[in-house]
Structure 1
Amino acid sequence: MTATTMAAPALRRRSAMTQLIITELKLFTRGRAAVGLLAGGGFPLLLMIIFGSIHSFNTPVAKYGGLTTLDVYVPILLVFAMGLLSLIAMPATLAGYRELGYLRRLKTTPAGPVRVLVAELTVKLVVTAAIVIVLLAVASGGYGVAAPRQLGGFLVTGVVSAAALMAAGLFISAVASSAGVARGIGAVFFYLMMFFAGLWLPIQNMPTVLQHISHATPLGAAVPALQDATQGQWPSWLQLVTMAAYAVAFGLAAVRFFRWE
């Protein structure tokens, strides 16, 4: 058996995986999924434009260590976009596939349902990265918000926080019986996490007890970590470990409870 013959199956698998990712991306940009795409990118961008247009949001605040309110809200809006895609859009898609019997039928094909999960995660990661880049570009170029000075720490925080959110999304997909139920559970997760991320009340303005609770949540750890990296500091290892722990816990729970049919 030649090396070319041995490599052929691997090449076919890669080609099939690539095609599946492209198909998932096309599906994500159409129909109801397109609404999720617009919400995931458009709504945080709209909020940033609104906040950036408010004069008081561009004035340094002593309580924020000399940062402006817009500086404080940029990482919140970044995790807002990540949360929408991971906790609402992705679970609804995967639960919908189960509801329609797609996952069950894929078990009988060479592609297999696991590749669908990989393709869905890949698409959401790519789209999330693109939205984050756009939001940072608008914040920096349009409103003078500082670009991340500790780029390595910023990237590590982004990856770990995305892992925690997508693991939570997979867990929702695992336990939801339908796309509608997945959207409902995802919305509860999303708004609860966003509260502790500081969307309605910045973490610095929360009572001490709520601040401690916030720091123990995935996005409550992600927001200050992103802020630290933006200001040139490496994120706290406690923040990174907190997000990683949620990623592992939700990931293991998703594997344990995921139903293919």
Structure 2
Amino acid sequence: MSTSALTLTPRQRRAFGLLVAGEIKIAIRRPVGLLVAIGIPFALLVIFGSIPATTRPEPALGGISFFDLYVPTLMVFVLIAVGLTGLPQQLSSYRQQGVLRRMSTTPVPPAWLLAAQTTVSLILAAIGIAILLGAGAGAYGLALPHDAGGDILSVVALLLTAAATIGLGLVVAAVAKSPQIAGAITALFFYPLAFFSGLYVPVQEIHSQLITDIAKVLPTGAGFNALHAAFGGQSPGVLPFLVLVGWVIVCSLAAARLFRWE
């Protein structure tokens, strides 16, 4: 994005706001993306929160319950779904339909579309995570971070994980010429990243040093480790945040290098 929101004129801000509003309407009209990003994590939250065995503290998990361990995973899943499903599909569709090319002939900079898509992705992610935390704490006794340090670490971890997953989505959108190609590339990233976030089975229960080491250097694994530690009142250390920052930088540079409007 060549012009920051802070330097836009009032007229430009209104135009950008209308663009964001339009992208939100498009997202609402395509409920599949909302189902994956918000519906599936919420359904899993309700299922595991309703099973007594998953809400009991487990010595093998350090005295926390499987449910408490799983909620940070669901939060990361929301970010994966938002960054790697909706965003690449929509942008590649715009490229295939010539929307990006036509925008280059209007007063609206095409880069605004990237910013609008990123903004919509962040809004959807915030809604999905707020639903998880609200329902988890209100209905199933989820233990939220109970100190300012934990709150700050959680927010930083969420923002960096969101930036990393959206960055990955932009890389996919940069090279995908059609939604079909975007979907195929997304699948190559989505399922491994979901696995290493602990979606299918907690990484801690696999008891494999190799799996643990791989998870540490992936954005979803690093995001989960940071959130899990923050929710448990522990320090995650600097490694998860360094990994996330690295992914943000690499993905941003790659997307900027590879992205084509036509």
Q: Could you say which TM-score interval applies, normalised by the shorter chain?
A: over 0.9
Specify the alignment match of 1:209 in structure 2. Answer: 210
Specify the alignment match of 1:252 in structure 2. Answer: 253
After TM superposition, list the pairs within 5 Å mapping 1:177-188 onto structure 2. Answer: 177-188=177-188
Q: Give the C-alpha shift of residue 63 in structure 1.
A: 1.6
Specify the alignment match of 2:78 in structure 1. Answer: 81
2:164 is matched by which residue type in structure 1?
A
State the distance in 2 between where 1:187 and 1:54 align.
Answer: 30
After TM superposition, list the pairs within 5 Å mapping 1:211-250 onto structure 2. Answer: 211-250=212-251
Q: Give the C-alpha shift of residue 86 in structure 1.
A: 0.6
Residue 142 of structure 2 aligns to a residue in which SS? coil
- The reply on whether 1:99 has 2:123 as its aligned counterpart is no
Q: Give the C-alpha shift of residue 35 in structure 1.
A: 1.3
Residues 128-151 of structure 1: CA deviation (Å, up to 9, x unaligned): 011101101111111101012311
1:210 is matched by which residue type in structure 2?
I
Specify the alignment match of 1:4 in structure 2. Answer: none
State the distance in 1 between where 2:48 and 2:101 align.
Answer: 46
State the distance in 2 between where 1:148 and 1:81 align.
Answer: 19
Residue 64 of structure 2 aligns to a residue in which SS? coil
- The reply on whether 1:61 has 2:58 as its aligned counterpart is yes
State the distance in 2 between where 1:243 and 1:184 align.
Answer: 24
State the distance in 1 between where 2:199 and 2:144 align.
Answer: 21
Residue 36 of structure 1 aligns to a residue in which SS? helix
Aligned residues: 251
Contact 1:87 1:190 in 2 (8 A): yes
Q: Give the C-alpha shift of residue 201 in structure 1.
A: 2.0
Q: Give the C-alpha shift of residue 233 in structure 1.
A: 2.9
Residue 125 of structure 2 aligns to a residue in which SS? helix
Residue 57 of structure 2 aligns to a residue in which SS? coil
Q: Give the C-alpha shift of residue 230 in structure 1.
A: 1.0
1:78 is matched by which residue type in structure 2?
M
State the distance in 1 between where 2:124 and 2:34 align.
Answer: 8
Specify the alignment match of 2:152 in structure 1. Answer: 152
Specify the alignment match of 1:6 in structure 2. Answer: none
2:50 is matched by which residue type in structure 1?
S
| Fraction of identical pairs, as percent | 38
Residue 226 of structure 1 aligns to a residue in which SS? helix
1:216 is matched by which residue type in structure 2?
V
* Unaligned runs of at least 5 residues, structure 1: 1-8
State the distance in 1 between where 2:236 and 2:96 align.
Answer: 41
* Unaligned runs of at least 5 residues, structure 2: 1-7
Specify the alignment match of 1:119 in structure 2. Answer: 116
Residues 92-131 of structure 1: CA deviation (Å, up to 9, x unaligned): 0000000000000001111021001100100110110111
Residue 29 of structure 1 aligns to a residue in which SS? helix
State the distance in 2 between where 1:34 and 1:113 align.
Answer: 25
Q: Give the C-alpha shift of residue 232 in structure 1.
A: 2.1
Contact 1:89 1:183 in 2 (8 A): no
Q: Give the C-alpha shift of residue 210 in structure 1.
A: 0.8
* TM-score, L = length of structure 2: 0.93
2:137 is matched by which residue type in structure 1?
S
Contact 1:148 1:231 in 2 (8 A): yes
Contact 1:157 1:222 in 2 (8 A): yes
Contact 1:98 1:178 in 2 (8 A): yes
Specify the alignment match of 1:193 in structure 2. Answer: 193
State the distance in 1 between where 2:107 and 2:237 align.
Answer: 44
Specify the alignment match of 2:140 in structure 1. Answer: 143
Aligned structure 1 segments of 4 or more residues deviating by more than 4 angstroms: none
Residue 146 of structure 1 aligns to a residue in which SS? coil
State the distance in 1 between where 2:235 and 2:121 align.
Answer: 26
Q: Give the C-alpha shift of residue 229 in structure 1.
A: 1.0
